[in-house]
Amino acid sequence: MKNSTVLKSLFVFLTILVFATCKEEKKKRVIEFPETDLTAENLIPKPLKMIPTNGGFALDQFTAIYTSEAAGFEEVGSFLAKKIKSKTELDVQVNIDEIPNLETVIYINQSDSLELNAPEAYQLYITQDSVILNSNTAEGAFRGIQTIRQLIPEASSDSLATYPIWTIPTGKIIDSPQFEYRGSMLDVARHFFSVEDVKKYIDLLAYYKYNVLHLHLTDDQGWRIEIKSWPLLTEIGGSTEVGGEGGGFYTQEEYKDIVAYAAERHVLIVPEVDMPGHTNAASVAYPIFNGNGKKPELYEGTQVGKSTFATRKDTLYSFLDDVIGEIAAITPGPYFHIGGDESHVTKKKDYIYFVERVEKLVQKRGKRMIGWDEIGQADIDSSSVSQFWASKKNAMDAIAKGMKIIMSPANKAYLDMEYDTLSKHGLHWAAYIPTDTAYIWTPETYEGIPMESILGIEAPLWSETISDIGELEYLAFPRAIGYSELSWSTPENRNWEEYKIRLANQAPFLDRMNVKYYASPLIDWKKSKYSYKEIEKD
């Protein structure tokens, strides 16, 4: 069935090309393309291999998109058409039977090539008449159209034609990610961020080929996800945040909306309920589960390590079974994050007991447990994942158990660290992380963690010092762009001096998206017609 679908799609594509080629009058023949070099394009993350042919594909009003009939491919084509419309105002039609004066085609094809056996691998073949995007999966095709989006220039090209044309360089791109897990974390517990804010962040991450957004949904300062069987978690626990502002939470319908929005962009949502520490908001709502011996009260500060669940109460695990069950039921992905960090007032033996019991609750729901690197102390299953943020020993203990590691070292990958002493937002307990430091490190060999044990990279953004989307963007960008390349591209394809030129040319996209990024003085930012950014200190 798969081969017949591919053959049918290929037949349609060849028919279109013959139709376009045999027209008596080819408007493209009067177009003089400037010489182009595919390898000089400002693609981030940098593809595995690029082979230029120094010609031009004309994207214009006579271009159409055709896709394979395989599941998800037409949606990828429609997504690309919408993004082309927003950038160029061209109405590029998708899978239309007959288009008058059709000249050029973008074809998104499901391939069964063994060269594309990685789930997100894709190949682009760009000629003067066609852009052929091949991938085995809709997910890979979606990564490929991000490359196409980045290849479309900001302005139309000069030509003899009487209509605007956006010239895309011709050549071949062979690409696939280095790591299967490429994520960012957003802390919505210390400060709450709206559904629309989260969606905007997802859009930006997807453009740079991220495939995971980890939502830190609970902490001492707030509980942000509706649990229908335990309504006080949000009614009381969700009522405040750092600084005493209004707080907030996602209803399950709103959370499902975020999950669906992310899925359309092939981004996986990983929910986190942080425990047994960082649990004050839950304990205020239901004091029976509090384990630190003090009367819990709503907390608006930023100090950590004071709270814990009563880990030896069996009723606690009935409660957590409900919480994990309700969230797991509306989260299609394979992971559930239990936190597990900075539980300083939990006795070590109680902490280990807790992690081992909660792992079973997660597995009961068909999920794979992730926890911060402290969970490596417990006797847990090799299917669980340790997120290395602070302790190399904890990470190595996890590796000895056969577990995979997510690389998030705080002094390299934390997006909430200040750029320098003059940063408007952020902290610096782990390090100052200027734009170059965020890029110039090697996750593949960092702290001796073996490459074969690394599941991927995640850049966490804690929200103690930020309270709106603009402040979020200031800390995340441009560093999140560099982490996308560290996650996707091989070390051989990474070079700071070359990268910072490509980064400078991201300014028009960021400005068009109204991203309030930090304009590092280390970067010679390209001026944009959308806005002007003052260069800041780094």
Residues marked active site are found at: 342
Yes or no: say if 279 and 323 are a contact pair by the CB < 8 Å rule: no
* Residue 1: both structure tokens together: 């069935």
* Residue 253: both structure tokens together: 């319908």
Place of tokens 């069935």: 1
Place of tokens 């027209």: 23
Yes or no: say if 308 and 260 are a contact pair by the CB < 8 Å rule: no
Distance CA 264, CA 57 (A): 28
Q: Greatest CA separation found in the chain?
A: 86
Instruction: Tell me the HSE value of 491 on the side-chain side, using a 13 A CA sphere.
Output: 8
Q: Report, in angstroms and rounded to the nearest whole number, the Rg of the chain calculated over CA atoms.
A: 25
* Residue 290 DSSP label: B
Task: Give the β-pairing of 335-337 and 368-372.
Answer: parallel
Nearest to 66 by CA among 14, 3, 144, 125: 14
Distance CA 384, CA 371 (A): 8
Q: How many CB atoms lie within 10 A of CB 494?
A: 18
In this structure, the chain runs to a length of: 538
Task: Provide DSSP, 212-270.
Answer: EEEEE-EETTEE-B--TTSTHHHHTTTS--GGG-----B-HHHHHHHHHHHHHTT-EEE
- φ/ψ region of 209 (left if φ > 0, alpha if ψ in -120 to 50, else beta) reads left
Task: Provide DSSP, 451-474.
Answer: GGGEEEEEEEE--TT--SHHHHHH
* Residue 279 DSSP label: -
Our CA angle for 139, 143, 149, nearest 5°, is 140
Query: Which three-class secondary structure state does DSSP give residue 200?
Result: helix
Task: Give the β-pairing of 93-94 and 49-59.
Answer: unpaired
- Between the alpha carbon of residue 448 and those of residues 372, 389, 393, 445, 451, the distances in Å are 18, 14, 11, 5, 9
Buried/exposed code over 347-382 (b: 16+ C-beta within 10 A; e: otherwise): eeebbbbbbeebbebbbeeebbbbbbbbbbbbebbe
Yes or no: say if 331 and 271 are a contact pair by the CB < 8 Å rule: yes
Query: Which three-class secondary structure state does DSSP give residue 480?
Result: helix
